[in-house]
Structure 1
Amino acid sequence: MKKPSSKIRDEIAKLQEQLKAAETREAERIGRIALKAGLGEIELDETELQAAFEELATWFRGGQGSRKTGSSGKERAGAGGATSGQAVAVPPGAAESSAGEA
């Protein structure tokens, strides 16, 4: 027996709410991590920052990013999740744009 279109619309609406909640949780988590790493102090164009995040995501997925090591992101981060001493993708000019901030 097929579902009526109203039931399907209700299910879609519920799924959209779940998706929005999941995206909000993910954004808050990534935002907190980015702030702890000091990215809030760096003045970058949103497109530059997105490109850097995309490169970082490729790297963690083990793709063809410039910092591929062959291990998973968790292995690179260490058991405690700390990333001190590791290279972080920074687009050209990012260091210069934050030089005036203290």
Structure 2
Amino acid sequence: MKCRIWRTQVVQGRFAEYERFAREISLPMFQSQAGYRGVMMGGDGPDRIVITLWENDDAIAALDASSAYRDTVSKIIATGFLTGDQSVEVYDTHLSDLDAIRA
């Protein structure tokens, strides 16, 4: 399994808009992708992260090439509630206890 971490910042006072976008647009888009295994979203102050779990590198490459993903990126940029730089990191996942989370 692979994890993909997207980092961004949200404009002060627009956190509720960001959360709504995440639930209504980003989450369903991720769930529709082949090889998707889960997501966690978190934040502190303006800093936000989205950690998605993927079956393998091919699933992440398919996400990046997906028109649904590119459309979602365009939509979130157009909202104007992101600020600063965004970055993406990908790691091998060598240990997880996801069953404990689901219990």
TM over 0.5: no
Higher relative contact order (CA 8 A, sep 6+): 2
* Greater strand fraction, Structure 1 or Structure 2: 2
* Greater helix fraction, Structure 1 or Structure 2: 1
Structure number with bigger Rg: 1
